[in-house]
Structure 1
Amino acid sequence: MWAPKATAVDLDVEGARRAMSPLPDGWWALDVPEAAHGTRYGYVVDGGGPYPDPRSRRQPEGIFGPSAVYDHDRYTWSDDEWTGRDLRGAVIYELHIGTFTQDGTFEAAVDRLEHLVELGVDFVEVMPVAPVPGGRNWGYDGVDLYAVNETYGGPDGLKSFVDACHRHGLGVILDVVYNHLGPSGNFLHPFGPYFSGFAGSYWGEAVNLDGPGSDEVRRYFIGNAIQWLRDYHIDGLRLDAVHALHDKRATHLLAELSEEVDALACAVGRPLSLIAESDLNDPRMVRPLDAGGLGMTAQWNDDVHHALHTAVSGETHGYYGDFAGLHTLAKVLTSGVLHDGGYSSFRQRAHGSPYTGVPGHRLVACLQNHDQIGNRPAGDRLPHSALKLGAGLLLTSPFTPMLFMGEEWGSRSPFLFFSDHVEPHLRESEGGRRETEFEGFGYSWEAPDPSDEGTFLMSKLDWSELKEEAHWSLLCWYRDLIALRKALPELSDPRLDRVRVETDPAGEWLVMWRGPVCVAVNLGGESATVPVPAGTVLLASDDPVSLNEHGLRLPAQSLAICRPAS
């Protein structure tokens, strides 16, 4: 155990304390032969504690309880034939274990994997699973980063879930948070300089990545990433808010992590992906290390979301203000981003840089995700009409598409922000904190209490909705779109310079050309004729649709995918 400033460290094993011996470089050690799988333990640092192990593999009693020895070799895997999945050409499905099913466990989620296979997605992206305060949380308040939330099923539960995904042909991406730790149950301070001593972001104290003692801190986070990929057979990591990683070293943490993950991929013989959430619009994020980049496999692309959302919803408040008009959607579909060095009215400054030469598969794009729904006061989702049009454009775009759980059938369940802090002051202040965080976003903030269990329960998916015609019809539309994307190479082609977009001067329709295939959408309130050469309609969201020498006749608020006659 690493505690470079400590003068005395004891190991507490099942209530009995034993002194540990100092080693070079701030490490302490003690051999306990009788300790075995399940043995409870903690550390007493200079009289304080006992605290959980910073690298605790299991917290059976939660974040305030002792750590438990966990032997990875006790689990028997059944995915020996799994060779991994490449992100290129893939469709991702994001979910939150606690609300994906009524039971909210890994075991219950396994029972719904067949639905995802039939939908046609390739990866399941799981929101953070590190232990959190209480019994319900989005996961971004995690501590004990090497452990797994017991509410979901603990370490064995996660392994069983990954194993089942691989049996179904699905890769697994895990969301991890390295830019901050939760405000409750964070016991790293007594052990060493894990933090920099200043607020790194709105969410908490900055992690020490470049100050004194930061060599071991960096290894702590890199080791955590390697654990998920190696010991849990995870296929990729989504790195939360990397713009909040404060690192001025010559080799950024992300570049160092990329090197380590590349080496691990060689060792395990399967592709491993790193996906960064970044609002910097900096193409260096996804450029290879040998080209001076940070080596991320891909990054989330908010600009595509904002342009799609504005086009299908008509909302222009907050950061959506820059994205009004079909010309902005045309730009992101052909350039990857809107803000590539120009002025951002929301930030009140120039923002971003061009993504010239970056293939579209390195940009993960969505119509909805946990943030874009959950950061709205009512956690409300897009209506079916908007989902039809948005999904049609997203799933024929040159980017890596990502869906959010329940989107495919137009779930009526909101996805609200919820938490379950133990400390009264955190519980009572959570709602006000959220309101303050989103000042200036243009919302009239009237949100349910995040600490109320009902807020969490309302956010659970209602799978019985699939029995209703409207929801089933939308699900079929999503399935058909994904199937067509995989059947036509033109629709997954990531080369942005081969995408051509035409827009109506009146702002009613847009045509996106993907090689010889065109995607036409009528966003207006009346039927419209879109100038498309005569040919064959491959898929349409609504009837009646006709394609002749005069063009494509589309009903109001509809989309069609066509192949003109050669």
Structure 2
Amino acid sequence: MTRFVGAKYQKETKTCLFSVWAPEAERVTVEVFDPVQLSIPLEPDDWGYWKAEVRDLPVGTLYKYKVNDKDPLPDPASRFQPEGPHGPSAVVASDHAWATADWAGIPKEKLIIYELHVGTFSPAGTFEGVIDKLDYLVDLGINAIEIMPIAQFPGSRNWGYDGVDLYAVQNSYGGPLAFRSMVDACHQRGIAVILDVVYNHIGPEGNYLSQYGPYFTDKYNTPWGQAINFDDAWSDGVRNYFLQNALMWLRDYRVDGLRLDAVHAIKDFSPKHFLQELSEAVDQLKEESGREHFLIAEVDLNDTRFISPRERGGFAMDAQWVDEFHHALHSWLTGETNGYYSDFGRFEHLVNAYKNTYVYNGIYSPHRKKVFGTRADNHPFHQFVVFAQNHDQTGNRMLGERLSQLVNYDALKLAAASYLLSPYIPMLFMGEEWGETAPFNYFVSHTDKDLVKAVRKGRKKEFADFHGKGEPADPQSEDTFQASKLNWGFRQNPSQLALWELYRALINIRKNNRAYQSSSRDSMQVLTATDKHCLGLLKTGGGHAILSLLNFSSLPITIPLLGLKGRFSLLLNTDDLTWEGQGRQVPGELLEEQEVTLPPLSAVVYEEASNYK
């Protein structure tokens, strides 16, 4: 049974309902600071929830809770913290005059995702700044944005994974009303919104949850300290807290989907795992709302249980990130084989990423020193999100270098084609489409000096395997944050503009060719010339076929197209002068059993439209 938590303004009765979970408290009062000063006792129920319904408190009322007569604390389910995580909570209206009330969503298999960080994406660094760039994203071909976490964190600069008020929309980004306006503006342009949420840990500064109840447990160890209590005593209230949070984003803010951070770090050995309970609740919401909602998990276990249907013993996440696709591609293009890249670096790993999804699917992992992973054969391609860059793989480098700083221009173009024309759901990381050269560093704005010292020390230690020459940027410095902002003058740079145009062309092929309408496993055939470091991807569907020939060698390579049937016409060659290439020619048409010579580090794309279903 789910229960409301937080402060709910009820417009019809002009009352405000306060509800807070504090199962071991003896007394709880709500302390109102503005527009009047009141101290109102709350009444407990049998499940540990304390409630009161108060008349004549308007939207914007500032309040805190006092537990057992101790110092007042912010509401753990506050919808807005106008003064940050240490200040009072504010009552927020739950209704909104949606301009897109009939928005039904986008089918999962059609998503083309663009990951962004609100603070560094636009010059303004706000939700309004995102709105200003939406027409740009539509022009690029994007139909979904994935926003790094916006739950209230300390200060104004943070990746978002230090959020402490999980229900509150970050004040420095514009707060709840501005976020609703941004979601509405996205939907007006046909763009779905995916929100990154963190349910595996809570940030350190401003985290008052343990003063309300047993939100944490010592049963398990985590990289962040105490584990969240998903299966120990009193865990029903904790699970409800996170379930209600997920439903709030999907229902009250009309977010289309949630990206769940590092779900392998959610420790839960209950008969029904929290993720399964969450997927059931979201399915019920879909039935009630008539809108498409989905859950995308970040999981580092190569375990299909997370995305398998509940009737097969799974947790029924709709999709998952596949870091191994990135690792195989990145290590091959850059030559990096340190840290977790030590499991990669051979061309066969890249082949496996296309053929099997999981590179390690029940085989021995040298990095882990054990057999690792399961097979993903029974799962359609749209259950997997792939990328050449993302916030983690860039920001968790010592210098925050993007791929544009690690490989040459031809390799950048090849990397784009490698995942945008894959059968999986593609995800761009903001700025990669023009080869942004600014780093994406890790940054915070904590007010606790001891915590700042610990963060600086921890970053150096945690990513020691990836350290090169130089020193990491100071995460607390505003200069580090400012250096991570996108530079929007790419149209004045011919090479960056050409790369952007190439991204748009590749996205257009994917969106508008019927070969990509099917995500079944039999809709993709991988043609390999492993010894020559070439791949052919034959994607079929809707009576059409797209043949992508990818040369991962720094030399021109001639390969036979054995078994290929039909007549294929050239769509795109990344070595063409249009894309700032060398202009080396490839056949305008391909016939059966023909040989083709591919330029170095190139992608050549052909289309056939008659013999495939």
Regarding TM over 0.5, the answer is: yes
Structure 1 position 449 matched with structure 2 position 482: no
Which residue is equivalent to 2:216?
195
Q: What is the TM-score of this pair, normalised by structure 2?
A: 0.89
Q: Which residue of 2 aligns with 1:50?
A: 72
Of residues 46, 52, 77 in structure 2, which corresponds to 1:30? Answer: 52
TM-superposed deviation, 1:433? 0.6
1:174 has 2:195 as partner: yes
Aligned-residue offset at 1:443:
5.2
The one of 418, 442, 459 equivalent to 1:393 is 418
2:21 matched residue in structure 1: 2
Distance 1:501 1:344 in 2: 24
Structure 2: distance between partners of 1:90 and 1:20: 46
Aligned-partner residue type, residue 398 of structure 1: P
Matched, 1:184 2:205: yes
Question: 1:544 pairs with 565, 571, 584, which one?
Answer: 584
**Residues 21, 514 of structure 1: alpha-carbon distance in 2 compared, 3 angstrom cutoff:** closer
Alignment of 1:133-282 (within 5 A): 133-197=154-218, 200-282=221-303
Partner of 2:344: 323
Rounded Cα–Cα distance in structure 2 between residues aligned with 1:417 and 1:340 = 32
Shift of 1:108: 1.0
Question: 1 CA distance for matches of 2:330 and 2:181?
Answer: 36
Task: Give the CA deviation at 1:513.
Answer: 2.2
Instruction: Measure the CA separation in 1 of the matches of 2:222 and 2:464.
Output: 15
* Residue 494 (structure 2) pairs with residue 469 (structure 1): yes
Counterpart secondary structure, 2:71: strand
Is the contact between residue 304 and residue 366 of structure 1 (CA under 8 Å) also seen in structure 2?
yes
Does residue 59 of the first structure (1) align with residue 81 of the second (2)?
yes
Cα deviation for residue 344 of structure 1 reads 1.4
Unaligned runs of at least 5 residues, structure 1: none
The alignment partner of 2:361 has SS state of coil
123-132 or 533-542, larger mean C-alpha shift = 533-542
Residue in 2 that maps onto 1:527: 556
Aligned to 2:332: 311
Structure 2 residue aligned with 1:118: 139
Q: What is aligned with 1:290? A: 311
Mapped to 2, the partners of 1:149 and 1:95 lie a distance apart of 15
Aligned counterparts of 1:405 and 1:62: Cα–Cα separation in 2 = 27
CA deviations 1:505-563 (Å, max 9, x no partner) are: 44432222224432112222222223236742211101222226752222222110124
Distance 1:317 1:493, change over 3 A: farther
Deviates more, 1:506-515 or 1:112-121: 506-515
Question: 1:323, CA displacement in angstroms?
Answer: 2.0
Which deviates further from its counterpart, 296-305 or 14-23?
14-23
Residues in 1 aligned to 2:306 and 2:375: alpha-carbon distance in whole angstroms: 12
Once the two structures are TM-superposed, the CA of residue 251 in structure 1 deviates from its matched residue by 0.6
- Rounded Cα–Cα distance in structure 1 between residues aligned with 2:208 and 2:200: 16
Name the counterpart of 1:69: 91
- List aligned pairs for 1:345-364, cutoff 5 A: 345-364=366-385
- Classify the secondary structure of the residue corresponding to 2:171: coil
Matched, 1:372 2:393: yes
Amino acid at match of 2:234: G
* 1:472-483 alignment runs, 5 A limit: 472-483=497-508
Residues 400, 439 of structure 2: 8 Å contact kept:
yes
One-letter code aligned to 1:79: T
Q: Which moved more, 1:369-378 or 1:11-20?
A: 11-20
How far 1:315 sits from its partner (Å)?
Answer: 1.9
Identity %: 44
Q: Match of 1:42, as an amino acid?
A: K
CA separation in 2, counterparts of 1:463 and 1:197? 47
Cα deviations by residue, 1:299-325 (Å, 9 ceiling, x for unpaired): 011111111212322222222222222
> Which residue pairs with 1:422 in the alignment?
447
| Aligned partner letter, 1:49 | D
Q: Tell me, yes or no, if the aligned pair for 1:334 and 1:497 is still in contact at 8 Å.
A: no
Asked whether the equivalents of residues 332 and 347 of structure 2 are also in contact (C-alpha less than 8 Å), the reply is yes
Q: How far apart are the structure 1 equivalents of 2:356 and 2:236?
A: 38
Secondary structure, aligned partner of 1:32: strand
Residue correspondences, number: 565
Task: Summarize deviations over 1:245-265 as a string: whole Å, max 9, x none.
Answer: 010001100000000000001
| Paired residues of 1:330 and 1:502 also in contact (CA < 8 A) | no
2:520 is the counterpart of 1:495 = yes
Distance 2:30 2:533 in 1: 69
Q: Which digits, 9 at most, give the CA deviation of each residue in 1:248-307, with x for residues without a partner? A: 001100000000000001111111000000001111111111222101000011111111
Which amino acid is the alignment partner of residue 30 of structure 1? Answer: A
Q: What's the secondary structure of 1:255's corresponding residue?
A: helix
Give the secondary structure class of the aligned counterpart of 2:214: coil
Tell me how far apart the structure 2 counterparts of residues 324 and 197 of structure 1 sit (CA, whole Å). Answer: 39
Contact 1:312 1:389 in 2 (8 A): no
Q: Return closer, same or farther for 1:310/1:489 CA change in 2, 3 Å cut-off.
A: farther
Q: Which amino acid aligns with 2:437?
A: R
1:413 partnered with 2:438: yes
Q: Find out whether 1:12 has 2:31 as its counterpart.
A: yes
Instruction: Give the aligned partner of residue 15 of structure 2.
Output: none
Structure 1 443/351 Cα, relative in aligned 2: closer, same or farther at 3 Å? farther
Contact 2:214 2:234 in 1 (8 A): yes
| CA 1:22–1:498: 2 relative to 1, 3 Å | closer
User: Do the aligned partners of residues 26 and 358 (structure 1) sit closer, same or farther apart at CA in structure 2, a change above 3 Å counting?
Assistant: same
AA aligned to 1:3 is A
Aligned residues of 1:335 and 1:496 also touching (Cα < 8 A): no
Give the 3 Å change call, closer, same or farther, for CA 89–287 of structure 1 in structure 2.
Answer: same
Q: Distance in 2 between matches of 1:156 and 1:191?
A: 28
Deviation, 1:70, is 0.8
* 1:553 paired residue number: 597
State the distance in 2 between where 1:273 and 1:31 align: 34
Please tell me the root mean square deviation across aligned C-alpha atoms, in Å: 1.8
| Counterpart amino acid of residue 372 in structure 1 | Q
Aligned partners of 1:479, 1:229: CA distance in 2, in Å?
30
2:505 partner amino acid: D
Select between 350-359 and 231-240 the one with higher mean Cα deviation: 350-359
Is the CA contact (8 Å cut-off) linking 1:13 and 1:39 kept in structure 2?
yes
Shift of residue 21, structure 1, vs aligned partner: 3.0
Q: Which residue of 1 aligns with 2:3?
A: none
> Structure 1 residues 18, 487: closer, same or farther in 2, change over 3 A?
closer
TM-score normalised per structure 1: 0.96
Query: Cα gap change, 1:440/1:315 in structure 2, threshold over 3 Å: closer, same or farther?
Result: closer
Q: Which amino acid aligns with 1:33?
A: R
> Alignment partner of 1:364: what SS?
strand
Give the Cα separation in 2 of the matches to 1:388 and 1:49. Answer: 57
The answer to whether the 8 Å contact 2:532/2:557 transfers is: no
Whole-angstrom CA distance in 1 between matches of 2:27 and 2:111: 52
> Which position in structure 2 is the counterpart of 1:438?
463
CA distance in 1, matches of 2:214, 2:402: 42
- The verdict on how the C-alpha distance between 1:385 and 1:492 changes in structure 2, with shifts beyond 3 A counting, is farther
Q: Using the TM superposition, give the Cα deviation of residue 342 of structure 1 relative to its aligned residue in structure 2, in angstroms.
A: 1.1
Counterpart amino acid of residue 489 in structure 1: R
* Paired amino acid for 1:117: V
| Offset from partner CA, 1:171-213 (integer Å, 9 cap, x none) | 0000000111000000111111111135642134211000110
In 1: Cα distance, 2:254 partner to 2:546 partner: 38
